């Protein structure tokens, strides 16, 4: 069993426990009462022809299977406000409980605090989680190609779009990019962390980014520790970066985002 398989076993068990508390019908009623989803595609520069800056997706991540406890985040709303002040285009809230220590309560707290589009970052394996994401104010969900069949990718994307949300489709190999593109993905992440082994190899981004069709928003995920890493991804074709550990473990995340955005813009100016 890979790490990803192992995580998903827990994700399914936890989801069934929540479903026993809140039925799908109840979730659908809640969705009817929430404000429409914000446009994460536009926030990530999807609709602008000149993508000459680097967007930051700033993640609220308490713990991880590879690193254990990362940060004691007493107030996710306050951290999200700092991310928004620093210029994050999207805030990612890791809601997976067993391995990452997140929760839908974190998503609720962040939703109440900021207007920035929110990514409900979880291991989506069932439509129930998509309804849940929208019911808790998410604007974007994550679909990991390695965890889903082609038909699930298409079905889950369609439901997300019906609910007004966008989808970040995560890949790690050439074949997964082909599957993402075939499923109609237009926000495509390349996670340089192999979710089967947890190895982080930043060179994976450069070897795959060129395979993503023009017009899509290309997101470099994981492994940003310094402005040099940001420049590496921006030079290799990233339109956005997804950063967790470096921000939650920094005393001044607002300034760190500003620094990353400047490094990205400088590298993009050279790239263009």
Point out the residues that are catalytic: 59, 61, 121, 170, 191, 221-222
Of 27 and 170, CB closest to ligand LARABZUK: 170
Of 243 and 263, CB closest to ligand LARABZUK: 243
Cα separation of 271 and 83, whole Å?
26
Q: Is 261 in the site for ligand LARABZUK (CB under 6 A)?
A: no
Task: For the CB of residue 162, give the shortest distance to ligand LARABZUK in the complex, in Å.
Answer: 26
Cα separation of 75 and 271, whole Å?
38
Task: For the CB of residue 192, give the shortest distance to ligand LARABZUK in the complex, in Å.
Answer: 8
Of 87 and 164, CB closest to ligand LARABZUK: 87
Q: Which of 97, 116, 191, 239 binds ligand LARABZUK (CB under 6 A)?
A: 191
Q: Give the total residue count for the chain.
A: 272
Q: Which of 53, 106, 122, 221 binds ligand LARABZUK (CB under 6 A)?
A: 221
Q: For residue 125, count other CB atoms closer than 10 A to its CB.
A: 17
User: Which DSSP string do the residues of 144-174 spell out, in sequence order?
Assistant: EGGGS-HHHHHHHHHHHHHTT-EEEEEE-SH
Q: Is 195 in the site for ligand LARABZUK (CB under 6 A)?
A: yes
Question: Exposure of 241 by Cβ count < 10 A (0-12 exposed, 13-18 middle, 19+ buried)?
Answer: buried
Task: For the CB of residue 193, give the shortest distance to ligand LARABZUK in the complex, in Å.
Answer: 5
Task: For the CB of residue 90, give the shortest distance to ligand LARABZUK in the complex, in Å.
Answer: 13
Q: Is 64 in the site for ligand LARABZUK (CB under 6 A)?
A: yes
Cβ-proximal residue to ligand LARABZUK, closest one: 244
Looking up tokens 């790239």 gives 271
- Dmax over CA atoms of the chain, in Å, equals 53
Q: Both tokens of residue 103?
A: 């929760």
- Tell me which residues in 92-121 interact with ligand LARABZUK (CB under 6 A): none
How big is the site for ligand LARABZUK, counted in residues (CB under 6 A)?
19
Find out whether 133 and 120 touch, Cβ atoms under 8 Å. Answer: yes
Find out whether 170 and 189 touch, Cβ atoms under 8 Å. Answer: yes
Cα separation of 102 and 192, whole Å?
22
Binding site for ligand LARABZUK (CB under 6 A): 3, 59, 61, 64-66, 191, 193, 195, 198, 221-224, 242-246
């Amino acid at each position: 069993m890979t790490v990803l398989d192992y995580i998903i076993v827990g994700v399914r068990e936890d989801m069934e426990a929540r479903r026993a508390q809140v039925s799908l019908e109840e979730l659908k009623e809640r969705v009817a009462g929430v404000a429409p989803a914000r446009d994460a595609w536009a926030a990530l520069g999807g609709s602008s022809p000149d993508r000459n800056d680097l967007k930051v997706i700033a993640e609220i991540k308490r713990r991880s299977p590879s690193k254990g406890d990362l940060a004691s985040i007493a107030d996710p709303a306050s951290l999200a406000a700092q991310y928004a002040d620093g210029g994050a285009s999207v805030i990612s809230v890791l809601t997976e409980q067993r391995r990452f220590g997140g929760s839908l309560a974190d998503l609720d707290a962040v939703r109440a605090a900021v207007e920035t589009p929110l990514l409900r970052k979880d291991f989506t394996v069932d439509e129930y989680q998509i309804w849940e994401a929208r019911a808790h104010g998410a604007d974007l969900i994550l679909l990991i190609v390695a965890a889903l069949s082609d038909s699930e990718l298409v079905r889950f994307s369609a439901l997300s779009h019906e609910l007004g949300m966008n989808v970040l489709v995560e890949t790690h190999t050439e074949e997964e990019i082909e599957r993402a593109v075939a499923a109609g993905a237009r926000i495509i992440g390349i996670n340089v962390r192999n979710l089967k082994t947890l190895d982080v190899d930043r060179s994976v981004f450069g070897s795959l980014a060129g395979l993503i069709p023009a017009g899509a928003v290309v997101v470099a995920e994981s492994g940003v520790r310094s402005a040099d890493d940001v420049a590496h991804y921006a030079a290799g074709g990233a339109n956005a970066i997804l950063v967790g550990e470096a921000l939650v473990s920094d005393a001044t995340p607002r300034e760190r985002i500003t620094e990353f955005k400047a490094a990205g813009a400088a590298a993009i100016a050279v790239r263009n």
